[in-house]
Each structure stands twice: as structure tokens, then as C-alpha cells.
Structure 1
Amino acid sequence: MPSLLKVLGISFGVIVVVGVVVGSITWAVLATRPLPPPELKPLDWWENTIIYQIYPRSFKDSDGDGIGDIQGIISKLDHLVEAGVGAIWMSPIFVSPMVDFGYDISDFYNIQTEYGTMADFEELVEKAHNLGIKIILDYVPNHASTDSEYFKKSVDREPGYENYFIWADPIITNTSDRQVPSNWISQFGGSVWEWNEQRQQYYLHQFAIEQADFNFREPAVRNEMLNIMKFWFEKGADGYRLDALPHLFEANPNDHNGTYPDEPLSGDMFVRPDQAGYTTQVHVRDQIELYDVVYEWREVADRWTEANETDTKILLAEAYANISMTMLYYGDENNRTGAHFPFNFDFITSLSASSNARDFVYTILRWLTYMPRGNVANWVFGNHDQNRVPSRFRPNMMDGLNSLNMMLPGVAITYQGEEIGMRDGYVSWEDTVDVAACNQGNPDNYLEFSRDPARTPYQWDNTTSAGFSTNATTWLPVGLDYMELNLQAQREAERSHFKVYQALTQLRKEPALSHGEYHIESLTANTLILVRHLRTYDTYALVFNVGQEQDVVDLSTVSLLRDPLTVYISSIHSNRNIDDTIPLEGSLTLTAGEALVLRGSPT
């Protein structure tokens, strides 16, 4: 009989061997077993949506007066559904003398007659909501029309309204001449100070003379702004785009011996002394006090949402500022929250037709790097104040730029017409109506200042006035290219900007885009790649040649890509078709402006 020690030894050896074998088998099984799909956190309605900006005056005219209106928007809600839009933001529709086409509001509680009635607005809200489309209004807190009751009462020094606006006494020189309180220059040219004979004081206007700036150091003004916000929440608005926030405060005279300090000169030799940019503007924008107001608005919006048990009411900040000041709109280090996001204008201010792929990648990563953790990014390529995207970049880049907009993480924002590649319209000096151009321009240079070319009517089809109106005369002339470039033609074409746009909005529903991670790099000086990936789900990659010449790239250097790669979407100028195979190994040749969205196996 074997000894106990021997038995134990043999038994121990067996145990050890068996343990190793079993452990190896277990490890092998775990290594080959596919990981479960990651849990997809539910997103709030706005976090991955597409916001479509409508300039109401130019979207659709329903009554033949040559001016777009609310009923026109209602009649085209089907287009927004077809396009895959989740929310519409409308430029101002409130009562206004229309000096600045709605941004000079005289009655914040009613609808401009040429746009319709309150009943029309209520119908729009109901029908849009039934279609799953949210309504975002343009909230204009910085100023009011000089035709408003607020301003008239302030001129009269009516109790409660004396300090509703920024009033200042003149500076009297030794010769008794009346001088403006400071050298500050309006955004539309000329002094920000305008003399009011009745009140015998200057009032401040950072934009048109007819747009008097509110005094946000006056509690009554801040309370009234909250009343306006709550009123339209009650009417069904789902949020606000907050206009011109950098201009909400100016330097406090109490901090400067009771006077308004002069601005230092910028030194820009290409700007006239009466134009914005001649001075540095350190005293007239981005004052730190404005963030307290934004944080207060966010608190009110959140409380209103909670108290009324509605979907989230969102606030979007218009903020042309440096990156640090812009990020403060999200919130501060004291855990105060602000806007749901400040508009990201970097594609407007930092990129152009001459930018290369490295410029694009740097600009994108800059925002994502500075954005405070836990917040949502957004991407803006154009709006009613800027030249249209194909005119600012190049027409053959339109699909690639829309692809970037839709595939980057966060909220995509589309200005009306971008889905069909609308270009700037031609507006002669005689037809120019933009106050910025009229104030600063002349027949030789007005297009440097005019926003009219980006506001020409939407091109629906090739009928009278591009299908925008039954009237042959419209408030701005229709674009000269409307016979060829219009929505109807693109619906009927085998390939078109609109069909690319539709495919992109559908793609955004894929988990890799709604919840996945991103990787972006420049493959060459002219071609970038953006990869969106999420474990167990298909990977999608945008390859985009932003240059003006053919380019050759090697995709095998991108470790996140797996064979097989197939074309999911291609720009209309590409010779590649859907489901074409793109080899991971070897070279890929892209024509100028060509963009390909590729689908690959899960990572």
C-alpha cells in the first residue's frame, strides 16, 4: 500500500495540474466570449438632437405678401420631419418695427402681425409637438426697440422705469459743446451713444440706434426678463436661444469715478474710426456680471421644468468670446450651471476655405478639450449673420461639412438651406435692407457688412420665387441659382445634398454616434478622419479631403478600423457608391472635397 505521503504527493500533483488546466480553459473561454453590449444611458431629448434654425421672414410665405410667416412654417413641418430634425429655433417673431428684422422688439408678449397671430403660434407648437419637433424661440434680452413702452416710459422718467436703460449725461467741454460720454463704438458703426432731446441725456445702443440697451443692473429689468421667459414657457416654448449675451453689461461707471471709461485703440489700420474693431471693446462686452444672469435664468428654467413636470426647457447662449469666457456659459467652479451649451462658432471664426485638415482637427479638439467634463458639445457651421457655408468654404465641401456636423459628438445645428447646399444670394445695393450694411456700407463695399445674402428666401422648387411665395416680388430677391438648386430637384435626383443629409440624420441614431467615443486625426495635410465607435456596435468613419487637390491616404494606420470597410454615405461628387468595398490595406484616393462615411466591423 502506498505511503500516505506518496498518496498526498500524487494527489497534490494531480490537483495542481488539474487546476492549471481548468484555469487555462476558463481563461480561454473568457478571452473568446464576446463582451456584452455596453449599457446605453438614456439621453435627454436635446443631448443628441438636430436643431434647425429658421429665419421666419425667408422660410415660407403662406399669404403671398412676399414675407415668410408662421403658417408657412406650419405648411413645411413635413419637410423638417423628412429631414430628420428634432427641434426648430426661430429667429424673433415678436412685435417689431423691423429695423433689424425682429431683433428690435417693441412688444415681447405678442406676435408680429406680418408673421401671424398668437393663435398661429399656438397651432405651430401643437402640430410640431405632435410630430416630435421641439420649438426654441429667440430670446433678445440685451435691448428693446425705442418704440417699446419700456423705452417711452423711461424717456418720461416714469416711476419704476427711470433706469430701465443705460442713460448718461453729456460731457461738457470748455466751449460748452456737448460730447458723448465715451468713445465706445456700436456693432453697426458709429457711437453707441444717442442723444434724447426729451430726457436731455444720451442712451446707449450697442447695435442700431433704434435698439436701446437694457440696464441689467436694474432689478426691475431682470425681473421683467424672467416674466417674458415664463410667459413663452406657458405658451409651449421648449427653450430659448439667448441673443447677444456678451453685450449684456458694460463697464460700471461706479468703478471708474462715475464716468464711462474710453476704450483703448485696437491699432487695426484697416478699420475706420467709426467702425466696430477700431477700439478693443474691453469695456463693452464679456463683463463677468453677465454670467450671474445666465445662471439665474438656468435656475428659473430648471425650476419651471420641475414644477410643471415637462420635458427639459433648454437655454442656448450666443457667445462670440474667447474659449475661456465661452466655457463659463456652461457653469462655474462653484457648481452653478448656466446655458445647456454656448453656441460653438469655431467653424465660423477659425476655419475657412483655406484651412487644412490639421486646422480642422485642432479646432474640433480645442472645443472638446476645454469643454467642462459632463457637458454636451455642439457644432455650428452657419447662421443668419454669416455668409452661407458653401460660399464661405467651397460648394464641393458641403456634404463633408454636413457629415462632420452630424458625426461629431453632441448637438448638430443646421441653418435653413444647408441641407440642400444653398449658397449666398445676390442682393444689390438698391435691394439691401440690412441695417448693418446700410449704416456702414456704400455701393462699392456694402457686401463686406451685409447679412442679406445669407437671408435670401428658401429655394423649395423652380416655380415663381423658388416656391417661397406666389408673389414674384419678395422681401429679398431669390437666389439666382434657384432653377437648378432647390429642394424639389434634390428630392427627385438620384444623388443630392438633401439625400446625403437624410442619410446622415438617420446615421445619428446609431449607438456608435449617440453614445460612442470619438477619434479624430489628420491623415495628411488635407485629409482628416473622424471615427465613432462603441464596443459590439458597428464602427463609422468619415474620411474627408478638405483640400483643393486630389489626395492619397492610408487607412491601415488607424487602429480602430476593421475589415470589411464599406461605403455607407458618399458625397455627391464622389465616384464611389453605397456598399462599395474600401480596402483597409493600400492607398485610398480622394478627389478635392470628397467625403466618405465608411462602415466597419465593431471594435
Structure 2
Amino acid sequence: MRYYWFLAFVLLLALSASAGAKIKATRYTLDLQGNSKIEGLYDDWWQNAVIYQVYPRSFKDSDNDGSGDLQGIIDKMDHFVNTGINAFWLSPIYKSPQVDNGYDIMDYRDIDPLYGTLEDLRKLVDEAHKRNLKVILDYVPNHTSDQHAWFLNSVNRTAPYDDYYIWKNATYVNGTRTPPNNWLSAFYGSAWEWNEQRQQYYYHMFAAQQPDLNYRNPNVVNDMKDVLRYWLNFGIDGFRMDAVNTLFEDILLRDEPPSGNSGISPDDPVTLDHIYTINQNETIDMIYQFREVLDEFSAQNKSYNRIMMTEVYATPNISMRYYINEDHTRRGAHFSFNFWTFILTLNKDFNAFQLAESIQSWQAELPIGCTSNWVLGNHDQRRVSTRLGVENIDALNMLIGILPGVQITYQGEEIGAEDGEVTCEEGYDPQAIKNCSTYNITTRDFERTPYQWDNSTNAGFNEGHKTWLPVSEKYHKTNLAAESLSGLKSHYNVYKQIVEIKQEFKNTTRDMLSFGSHPNNVFYCERKTDSAHYALVFNAGNTEQPVYDFLDVNSTLEVVISNVNSQYKKGDSFEILGNLQAKESLLLKVTPLEE
């Protein structure tokens, strides 16, 4: 789920800051051993993993009906193996009316026929485990569909479901029925919907067809924990938890104060400061409870850890609360997605200093004993190649490959895919298609177009049936088959090489990270463990620039990866103080000279 009000606020700050930002010199050096277990760093299966997000409806259509499906994922599963992926996460595949592309769930324990059956998912999990791949499901705890049996029973006041949702009486102003308070939906307008049958309002943070569950009801908590146990027993290896910072709301239903943003529609959630509807203390506690369910299962089965990844759009200090409590006695998410570094604080004109600061501002808040993660994009954000520039995609993929922790890839980022082309009339994003005049600004359809496998009909997504969203016209040039040729300099081959190198950072006992910027707009990042030593140099500017004194002069530097437009080849030497062309990036193997 995209938190529009928070994104708008932070991006406004980022844009205003970048407009007059000076490119400064900065350098950070971090000893990462303090953030890991004594016996070794990154020794659990997920801590140095590459996790790949699959958007199932757009991945592969096996039966040529226009929509991707589970069998299509099975058919293309070797792509994960060939690329070096360790785990993949499936956006929602549960039974759903598809009002919000599957995030409106009417049965948490069944598969929507659009994607297949439970047997198809069983086959998918078995095939993944045969390939040593882990499978992660999207888990949507905040709300259900208004077609879920719980909600239908709640409308009828059928016990025990009568208070499974947040129902409140209307208030009347001069005889006119009005909602209980001023809370606004992330999808615009009041967050309260009148139900004629029950004669009450129900609360919905997102679409009206997505009523919020009442987590103050212990039966709801137990039922949602049982959903986790059901899928753990099924063989699922972890969960990406959607919209978790909206689980609880202020029990007193106090009006939220104005944010101070002016010139905006009163229906826009940016107009309010959401102090009573997100990141409540009870929400944090519920995440810790979910973690206990996962840890209990792994302990009882004497097996590997099942993981939890949480979606929280927030500043780093708030995001870290989802990891662990202050006295480190309770754990929550194995990691909370780092949207801060590459999504909330950078724009297309970012410079080397801003890049270094965006990394440091996240890493500095990371609690001891916790593992970081790096996210370039997802199904709710414009594709990173469009948002931050296709000319920068190789540098960014190299960077998140050598930074410590988990690397998250949204499908298509490995081939440098850009936003697709979708009109409002062709779109499916429920909040965007309500207003075609703003569709191009608010839609999430552009980043959800079908995967570009090859240059055949419909990019190889299917055999020619009209696709649910149109295939991007860019597929003739940008597709996996074209980029997979051995020896070719391509975004995919760059990505594949960095994923291979990333494995060298696993199971180490020493880890030093250094990164920073120079006023000439050159960024560097150096990672040194007891078995690997690499440095990334990246000219974020538009003119040729030298690489200054970032690296030890008593070392040799060998090019192991270069971006697609670089003149350097694998095996070339790079001289200290050598020049980089505009937007050029190199990953260098650092070897100290013998004394």
C-alpha cells in the first residue's frame, strides 16, 4: 500500500532540499561487527539474501487469458536460480474481488481462481524448495474485503463477528448525518463509510471495500495469528506484511490535527497530521506478537527461521521500532523495508552527497543486532529506472549488492525496465481511475505492466491474448532474452554479476563499510571483510570527473563490473585518480600491494 500523505510530505522536502543542495565532501566508516552475532555475520539464510518481488498478475501468463498465474511462475522459476535469487515474495494471490488488485481479501486460506488453485501453490512451493528457493507470501493484516464472511456476519451483528471491524455511530450536525471524526482515507475522502443495514459507520484506511479489522478484539488477533500458522504449516518460508503501521487507531477517535499544507483538496489525506491512525504503540506490540508466532513455529519444528518483512513508510527512527523494542527484549520484523534511502529521499537529480547521506541516515538508526536492507522500488512506486534514471540503474544495483544486509529486487529491475504506458481507461488502480485528470500522477499501473521476457508477441508474457495491463512498448529493446546473451554488456548481466559477488560477504567474521562523496559529484562505497574487498566508484554528475583520494594508494584496483556505457571491461586496471565519464560506475576488486 502506498502512503500518499507521507510520500507527498517527504518528497516535497527532498525536492526543495535538492533544488539548492551543494555537493559536499563526506566520508563514513562503519565497523559492522557490532550489529551482528558474535559467532559470525550474515550467517542466517536471509541476512545476506537477494529477495525478489513477484507481482503475479504481471509475471507470466501460462494459459493465455491475459493475467499472470501460479503456473507461469513455476514455468519461469529457473530465472530465479539462473540469476542467483535466494527467495521470492508473491504479492497477494488470495481469493479476492480484485477491487485493489488482491489487497482486498475475502478468504485468507484460499487462492483466487485468477491465479490458480491451492494445488498450484503446493506445486510452486515444492518446486521452489527443490531449487533451494524460499517462498514468501504477502500477508495483509490491516483489513479484509467487504465480501469476507467475517464482514458479512459483522454487518448482520452475528456473534462473534459483530465487532470484528471498527463500527461507530453517526454524529448529527443540524440534523445531518456525519462521520464520527475527521479521519481521511489514504484513497481520499472520509475514512468512514455508512452501512445502511447496520445503521453505523465502519472505518477503512484504504478503499471503502477494504474495512479495517478491529485488533482490540482478541478474537481477531487469534484468527489472524491462525492464518499465519496455516501458511507456515503449508510450507511458506516467511511473510511480507502489508500496511502494518495502520493496525491500531486512537481508541478515543480524536480528530487529527491539520498538517498545515495549504491549497490542497480537503479530501486529500495530506491535509491532516496522522498522529492517531498510524504507528500507534499497540501496533508495534502486535508486530512483536506476530514475530513470536513465527519464532515459535521454527523452534517447534527445529528448523530454519521463517521471516517477517514489514511495510512501513516512515522516518528511520520510527521504522526501527518495528525491528526491536528499546531494551532489546522483544523482536519484531526481521527487517522493516528501507524505503528511506532510495524512495523517500532521492529524486532523479540526486547527487553524490545526497546518496551518501541517504544511506547514512538509515544505517545510523539501525539497532545493534539487526540487519539492514536496501529497496530500490516495488509495485507502489514508479520504476527506479524511470524515477532515478535508467542511466543510474547499474550503479544502484551494484550499490545495493555490496551494501550490508538484504537486497530487495522488484521484478524487472534486473533488466532495467522502465515505467510502462497505460491510459486511465486501461488502468486498474482503484484510487487513480476515480479521477482521470490526475491519473498520470497518482496511478500505480505504470510499474505493474507485464514482465518483458523477450521480443516476441506481448514480450513473451503470453501467446497473444490481450493483457490485463498493456505491455510496455519498450519491450522490443528491454527484455530478458536480449540482455542474457553471454559476454554482452547489459543491465541484466551487470545485475547477475553483482548478485554473484554478494555471496562472498556471507558468513564472515569481520566487516568494514566506508562510503562518501566528493564535491565533484563522485560517490564511493568500499566494503571489506575477511574474504572480500570491493569498492564502487560512481560519477553521479553530468561531466567527466576524477576519482580522488577515496581508496588506498597502496592497492591495485581491478575492474570486475562496469555499467553498460562504460569503456572499461572486466579485468581492466583502474588507476588511483583515474577519470570517470558522466554517470559511469565501476565495481573494483581491491588488492593491497605487498610490502
Normalization by structure 1: what TM-score?
0.89
Offset at 1:308? 1.3
Offset at 1:39? 8.0
Choose the corresponding residue for 1:361, options 356, 374, 385. Answer: 356
Matches within 5 A, 1:328-367: 328-334=321-327, 335-346=329-340, 347-367=342-362
Q: Tell me, what secondary structure is at the counterpart of 2:481?
A: helix
Contact 2:48–2:405 under 8 Å retained in 1 = yes
Offset at 1:263? 1.6
Write out per-residue CA displacement over residues 246-288 of structure 1, whole angstroms, 9 at most, x where no aligned residue.
11111112xxxxxx22221112124311112111111111111
- Going from structure 1 to structure 2, the CA distance change for 1:266 and 1:39 (only over 3 Å counts) comes to closer
Write out per-residue CA displacement over residues 360-398 of structure 1, whole angstroms, 9 at most, x where no aligned residue.
111111111110011100000100000000100111101
Choose the corresponding residue for 1:446, options 439, 442, 454. Answer: 439
Q: Does 1:495 align with 2:489?
A: yes
Q: Following the alignment from structure 1 to structure 2, what is the Cα–Cα distance between the partners of residues 366 and 513?
A: 26
Aligned to 1:403: 398
Contact 2:373–2:406 under 8 Å retained in 1 = yes
Q: Following the alignment from structure 1 to structure 2, what is the Cα–Cα distance between the partners of residues 549 and 68?
A: 43
Aligned to 1:392: 387
Q: Following the alignment from structure 1 to structure 2, what is the Cα–Cα distance between the partners of residues 469 and 557?
A: 48
Q: Following the alignment from structure 2 to structure 1, what is the Cα–Cα distance between the partners of residues 259 and 520?
A: 34
Choose the corresponding residue for 1:262, options 252, 255, 264. Answer: 255
Once structures 1 and 2 are overlaid, which stretch shifts more, 381-390 or 465-474? 465-474
Normalization by structure 2: what TM-score?
0.90
Q: Following the alignment from structure 2 to structure 1, what is the Cα–Cα distance between the partners of residues 344 and 277?
A: 20
Write out per-residue CA displacement over residues 185-244 of structure 1, whole angstroms, 9 at most, x where no aligned residue.
110111100000000000011001100000111101100110000000011110001110
- Going from structure 1 to structure 2, the CA distance change for 1:53 and 1:557 (only over 3 Å counts) comes to closer
Q: Tell me, what secondary structure is at the counterpart of 2:589?
A: strand
Aligned to 1:482: 475
Offset at 1:548? 2.9
Contact 2:42–2:507 under 8 Å retained in 1 = no
Q: Following the alignment from structure 1 to structure 2, what is the Cα–Cα distance between the partners of residues 42 and 201?
A: 51
Contact 1:512–1:538 under 8 Å retained in 2 = no
Q: Partner letter of residue 218 of structure 1?
A: N
Q: Tell me, what secondary structure is at the counterpart of 1:113?
A: coil
Q: Following the alignment from structure 1 to structure 2, what is the Cα–Cα distance between the partners of residues 270 and 591?
A: 43
Contact 1:180–1:193 under 8 Å retained in 2 = yes
Once structures 1 and 2 are overlaid, which stretch shifts more, 146-155 or 326-335? 326-335
- Going from structure 1 to structure 2, the CA distance change for 1:482 and 1:514 (only over 3 Å counts) comes to farther
Once structures 1 and 2 are overlaid, which stretch shifts more, 71-80 or 484-493? 484-493
Q: Following the alignment from structure 2 to structure 1, what is the Cα–Cα distance between the partners of residues 518 and 391?
A: 20
Once structures 1 and 2 are overlaid, which stretch shifts more, 502-511 or 210-219? 502-511
Contact 2:41–2:507 under 8 Å retained in 1 = no
Aligned to 2:525: 530
Q: Following the alignment from structure 2 to structure 1, what is the Cα–Cα distance between the partners of residues 582 and 235?
A: 46
Q: Following the alignment from structure 2 to structure 1, what is the Cα–Cα distance between the partners of residues 479 and 507?
A: 29
- Structure 1 stretches of 4+ with a deviation exceeding 6 A read none
Choose the corresponding residue for 2:287, options 279, 283, 294. Answer: 294
CA RMSD of aligned residues (A): 1.6
Contact 1:185–1:192 under 8 Å retained in 2 = yes
Select the structure of larger CA radius of gyration: 1
Aligned to 1:26: none
Q: Partner letter of residue 560 of structure 2?
A: Y
Choose the corresponding residue for 2:555, options 555, 563, 568. Answer: 563
Contact 2:41–2:508 under 8 Å retained in 1 = no
Aligned to 1:372: 367
Q: Tell me, what secondary structure is at the counterpart of 2:193?
A: strand
Aligned to 1:178: 177
Higher RCO (CA 8 Å, separation ≥ 6 residues): 2
Q: Following the alignment from structure 1 to structure 2, what is the Cα–Cα distance between the partners of residues 408 and 437?
A: 35
Aligned to 1:53: 53
Write out per-residue CA displacement over residues 549-571 of structure 1, whole angstroms, 9 at most, x where no aligned residue.
332222x4434x64221101000
Contact 2:537–2:547 under 8 Å retained in 1 = no
Q: Partner letter of residue 112 of structure 2?
A: Q
- Going from structure 1 to structure 2, the CA distance change for 1:111 and 1:541 (only over 3 Å counts) comes to same
Q: Tell me, what secondary structure is at the counterpart of 2:393?
A: helix
- Going from structure 1 to structure 2, the CA distance change for 1:570 and 1:557 (only over 3 Å counts) comes to closer
Q: Following the alignment from structure 1 to structure 2, what is the Cα–Cα distance between the partners of residues 593 and 558?
A: 19
Q: Following the alignment from structure 2 to structure 1, what is the Cα–Cα distance between the partners of residues 428 and 39?
A: 53
Q: Tell me, what secondary structure is at the counterpart of 1:481?
A: helix
Q: Tell me, what secondary structure is at the counterpart of 1:397?
A: helix
Unmatched segments (≥5 aa) in structure 2: 1-37
- Going from structure 1 to structure 2, the CA distance change for 1:557 and 1:379 (only over 3 Å counts) comes to closer
Identical residues among aligned pairs (%): 43
Once structures 1 and 2 are overlaid, which stretch shifts more, 267-276 or 139-148? 267-276
- Going from structure 1 to structure 2, the CA distance change for 1:591 and 1:63 (only over 3 Å counts) comes to same
Q: Tell me, what secondary structure is at the counterpart of 1:572?
A: coil
Unmatched segments (≥5 aa) in structure 1: 1-37, 254-259
Choose the corresponding residue for 1:428, options 402, 423, 427. Answer: 423
Aligned to 1:29: none
Aligned to 2:97: 97
How many residue pairs match? The answer is 552
